[in-house]
Amino acid sequence: MSRQGKRRGSGRRRGKQGGGGRSRDGGSGGSRRGRRHGRSEDTHRGWGALETRIITALSESPHGPMKSKDLARDLSIPAGEYRDFRCLLAKMQKKGMILLVRGQRYAVSSRLDLVTGPLSTTRDGHGFVRSSDGESDVYVPIHRLATALDGDTVVARIEARPRGRSREGSVVRVLERARETVVGTFHEGRKVNYVTPLDDRLRRDVLITRGDESGAEPGQVVVVRISSFGEGRVGPTGEIEEVLGGLDEPGVDILAVAHGFGLALSFSDTVVAAAQEAAHQGLADPGPDRVDRTDLLTFTIDPADAKDHDDALSIERLDSDRMEVGIHIADVSHFVTIDSPVDIEALARGTSVYLVDRTVPMLPPVLSNDVCSLNPGTPSFALSLFVTLDSGGRVRDRRYEHTLIQCRDALSYEQAQEVLDGRSSIEPAIDEAIRNLDDLSRAVRVLRVERGALDLDLPESKVILDAEGEPIDIRRRERLEAHRLIEDFMILANEVVANDLEAKGLLGMYRIHEPPAPEKAEMLAETLARFGLSLPVRRRLRPSDLQQILDAVRGRIEEALVNTLVLRSLRKARYDTENVGHFGLASEGYAHFTSPIRRYPDLVVHRVVSRCLVRGEREPYRDLEALSSLAERCSAREQAAVEAERASVALKKVEYMERHLGEEFHGRISGVAAFGFFVTLEDVFVEGLVHVSGMTDDYYRLEERQHTLVGERGGQRFRLGDRVLVQVARVDKEARHIDFAVLRRLPQGLEGVDD
């Protein structure tokens, strides 16, 4: 996994968060599974038991759905606790465990064949409801979405269970709306004005009542506050809250992305003042157990343009076979206390967001770039994990300290790589430390690979902007050995912390990654068979099975495509209070610990480590239900950040391709649908659509299981993975779409594929 954008939030291969081995992600085994905390631990265990009794009573009710009073009577709920009982029912309903049906009666969702979860919609308007019942996601065709929009939490009724495919359903209720505002382009109609959303997953225009235009002119980008989400065929309505400007005006495109994903581009005066006070107070009182480690040779390795440094490394030899690696993480929890104004704002943001032209930080700059950052030459507070490793990369011991460190230098990845290559020198002591760390990181990586951790190597692109924010180039991000070095130790730290939380039965937040759904695994196996690659289908898929596939295509022309297919088969990693392991890392447990400046879950874990593992005090989080809700929010904000980052890059890619209309490019088919196929260009990593309406030589139909479009008369075939020559036919910046015209198929050179 690459660590190129260590600064960049989370996700598949993002910097310090890791993504495919043990590391910036999860927790450990399962000794704590099911443990309940609450107002008091016993109280919440009682509520957990009551939830189970409610589910049992509703499931076994001979008369079907029950009213709350009847249910309370059957469960012998005292009159004085009936109000709390009603609140519990409401919470269970919000979580989708039960459903309120006709006659104000409650029923178990599973008994009604209902599934509750967040809705994700695709470009063609169809949706998928992510299920928490352990089964596959529920496919919802566009005509069965009702008024639900992308991101909403919905209840879907199962309508069909096609063999070998996802369950199909209909949205019957929206439990929680994901957005209150929509960003789009304002249009004047003959009878009614409307706004067309810029996000192509929001398929319906928002009607604007005349008089609620706020001075917007046709073609301008606006923010609309939704007043009604519609009903039946009636679309949503709203009023314009803010006019951002014309889409071609400098900076408006990125402003639109920020507003569209609910990103706050600045901090309120109250939060800034609170951050300044927290910085002053924190520096004045280092705490009673701060250990002076300024004599340690420590340094950071980050992107060249990094402004915050949240981790540093040190290494000392203990004997002929053992070394102690210090993984020093900015002690953000020392400055940001629970429920303080800065903490509330950080939770609302959830993560820093790295848009194509700017950073939207989680913490105010006085903290993120100044007092919390491990800047060189300045004494800094850290929460340090010292790990003793043998020459084979195995962990022999660990300890935690609140430390005062002073980094000798702040290196870029390129500088560190030049030292490893023998082409440059920082200073003898730092050079030796980098080489020793590299040797150990390779040993740690070997152990991770041997247990089956995935190492997805997908090409990442970087859009180069000029001083005015115009895209002038798109380049491939280089993955250096120095990136791997940092990633290996961050992954190691995150696993060690997760294992310690698990071993001590502490309530914390894990980064979990569940195995692929069986249907996804089956579809992947069928697709890979085209390339002469096989996956086991008679047993549960293991990460090592997928890694063998990745190893088999390394260096082959289809390597990037197969990596993409494997990635698409995987579930999204998320945060949870229950440790169920991390599939991609082949890890029993993983927790984000290494980036508290830019990720809220790391701050949560720091508080647990600081209080419980360093000071031996009580847990900072004792309400399991509250912490579970916090984990869900962090997962949602992380996903929004990832999508915002992608959207901002996509905008600049569209803008870049505007200048290449009519030009020809080589590309590879990266997706096939009934309406056409997507092509990713080989040189600039831009994706566009070849629509069937533009393929005038024949009538093409989809062979879904073969991922192929076939011409009915001539038999011409366009398959997933095929190389093609395309021409840039149309660019729509408002819709963020690029349309290609296919000129011809190219020689494939794919092993295992017939031409």
**Residue 3 in contact with residue 9, Cβ under 8 Å?**
no
Place 565 in a pLDDT band, splitting at 50, 70 and 90: confident
Helix ranges, 570-623 (H): 600-608
Place 4 in a pLDDT band, splitting at 50, 70 and 90: very low
Q: Is pLDDT above 50 for 495?
A: yes
**Residue 315 in contact with residue 423, Cβ under 8 Å?**
no
Residues 738, 736: Cα–Cα separation, whole Å: 7
Do 41-110 and 181-260 come out as alike in CATH topology?
no
Q: Is pLDDT above 70 for 506?
A: yes
Of the candidate ranges 88-97, 587-596, 647-656, the one whose mean pLDDT is the lowest: 88-97
**Residue 445 in contact with residue 514, Cβ under 8 Å?**
no
107: tokens are 């029923």
Q: Mean per-residue pLDDT for 107-113?
A: 70
Q: Is pLDDT above 80 for 32?
A: no
pLDDT at res. 420? 97
CATH of domain 41-110: 1.10.10.10
Torsion of CA 277, 283, 284, 286, to 10 degrees: 130
Q: Is pLDDT above 90 for 392?
A: yes
pLDDT at res. 747? 81
Residues 569, 575: Cα–Cα separation, whole Å: 19
Domain boundaries, the chain: 41-110, 181-260, 269-476, 660-745
Residues 79, 87: Cα–Cα separation, whole Å: 14
Place 377 in a pLDDT band, splitting at 50, 70 and 90: very high
Sheet holding 700-703, edge to edge: 700-703, 708-711, 717-719
- H or E stretch including 707? none
Q: Is pLDDT above 80 for 403?
A: yes
Place 487 in a pLDDT band, splitting at 50, 70 and 90: very high
Place 749 in a pLDDT band, splitting at 50, 70 and 90: low
More confident residue, 545 or 52: 545
Place 154 in a pLDDT band, splitting at 50, 70 and 90: confident
Residues 616, 415: Cα–Cα separation, whole Å: 40
In sign, the C-alpha dihedral spanning 237, 238, 244, 246 is positive
Of the candidate ranges 93-97, 323-327, 399-403, 411-415, the one whose mean pLDDT is the lowest: 93-97
pLDDT at res. 604? 98
pLDDT at res. 38? 35
If DSSP codes are grouped into helix, strand and coil, which group holds residue 398?
strand
Q: Is pLDDT above 90 for 413?
A: yes
Place 502 in a pLDDT band, splitting at 50, 70 and 90: very high
Residues 424, 432: Cα–Cα separation, whole Å: 12
Q: Is pLDDT above 70 for 132?
A: no
Share of the chain above pLDDT 90, in %: 52
Task: Kindly report the average pLDDT of the chain as a whole number.
Answer: 86
pTM given for the model: 0.81
Q: What are φ and ψ of residue 380, in 5° steps?
A: -135, 150
Q: Mean per-residue pLDDT for 270-280?
A: 97
Place 12 in a pLDDT band, splitting at 50, 70 and 90: very low
Share of the chain above pLDDT 70, in %: 91
Q: Is pLDDT above 80 for 66?
A: yes
Q: Is pLDDT above 80 for 48?
A: no
Strand 717-719 to 359-360 pairing: unpaired
Residues 626, 12: Cα–Cα separation, whole Å: 27
CATH architecture of 181-260: Beta Barrel (2.40)
**Residue 95 in contact with residue 114, Cβ under 8 Å?**
no
Q: Is pLDDT above 50 for 17?
A: no
**Residue 499 in contact with residue 593, Cβ under 8 Å?**
no
Q: Which CATH superfamily is domain 660-745 in?
A: Nucleic acid-binding proteins (2.40.50.140)
pLDDT at res. 559? 82
Q: Which residues have a Cβ under 8 Å from the Cβ of 513 and sit 6 or more positions away?
A: 25, 26, 570, 571, 573, 574, 581, 582, 583, 584, 585, 590
Q: List pLDDT tens digits, range 304-325.
A: 988 899 999 999 999 999 999 9
Q: Is pLDDT above 80 for 357?
A: yes
pLDDT at res. 573? 94
Q: Mean per-residue pLDDT for 139-158?
A: 86
CA distance readout (Å), 707 to 208, 516, 748, 755: 41, 20, 16, 15
Nearest Cα residue to 698 out of 687, 709, 713: 713
Q: Mean per-residue pLDDT for 390-419?
A: 97
**Greatest distance between any 2 Cα atoms in the chain:** 83
Place 523 in a pLDDT band, splitting at 50, 70 and 90: confident
Q: Mean per-residue pLDDT for 547-570?
A: 86
Q: Is pLDDT above 90 for 431?
A: yes
pLDDT at res. 742? 94
